Structure 1
Amino acid sequence: MASSQLSGGLVWDFCSLSYYVEEKQEGNNSDLPVHTFDAIQIATDYFCESNKLGEGGFDYIYKGVLPGGQEVAVKRLSRSSGQGLEEFKNEVILISKLQHRNLVRLLGYCIQAHEKILIYEYLPNKSLDAILFDPLKKDVLDWNRRFNIIEGIARGLLYLHRDSMLQIIHRDLKASNILLDEKHES
């Protein structure tokens, strides 16, 4: 693909968000699909280590494949995250309302026993830091591509900070939270 097609998508850990909702939203239900823990286990090959994409302070991210063949990123919150059920439900509702081409989309979730899982779209080219800090891959990012990534980040932040109906301040902007979409060739 041409370098002008490269864009970045923002991801975040809910614990790092500060948000302000101008008006109380009616209803607490999300239109997102709810998945069973068993289905997610099968999709990730029982959270196989070879499917692990990464980990944060309180979560693990795995690549999975849903029954229809769609590849997804599965974020499994650690039991030690300290996030309760209500906070998790609020996160699902909040993130499901944020739709922008420069934000990673939430596709579904699972709440079962002690398990709290978010299912996101899968972006195959990993995070920006995987390219920036790899001596063999960093040359792939010429200045046109870097500019396009910066522009995508700025558009996503502008949407979150000003244009979305839920005004959100992203406080954890770093290269590992910038995912590169399928338009990027490494």
Structure 2
Amino acid sequence: MTLDDDFPEDAPGRPAWLMTLADLALLLVGFFVFIQASQHLDQTALAKGIREGFGADTVVQPEPMPVAAAAMLNFAPGSAALPSSPAGLIAWAREATRDPRVVLKISGASDGSESDVDVATGSNAVLAADRARAIAAELARAHAVPPGRMTIVNATGGKSRSVTVTLGFAGERQ
């Protein structure tokens, strides 16, 4: 008995690769028919139907695309008090958010040293959040940013005592 006896002979007829090629061509034709047919449908309803078909419950909003940034630097170690007047940052944010498709992300950071921590908790993250909240409060107090258009986050792996305000393009609002 040889190894060749273990494998059956190929059936006469079309080669196997031809069937795979036909399957691929059929899938492509189906895809292009789907694309052509869906051009005239309500895109929101179509997306909802596809999500329901795959069992997805929620819509994940994409992260706004960062476009520009401004910062407030040189906070005192262990302090969330603003080191200088935020007037320039407020003017920048007011001008940037005139476009309703723009949102702001305010990121607080600490330098990671033992002296740059929140006094009450001893936490770098709490101090970074306090710094970001201080800037957000100034922007809100000056009515520079419409409600619901700014988000406060903590920067990860910060190397400086700062707050960065990132302008993001969120696209058309639904």
Q: Shared fold by TM > 0.5?
A: no
TM-score by length of 1: 0.21
The higher relative CO (CA closer than 8 Å, separation ≥ 6) is in 1
Structure having the larger proportion of residues in strand: 1
Task: Tell me which structure has the larger Cα radius of gyration.
Answer: 2
TM-score, with structure 2 as normaliser? 0.22
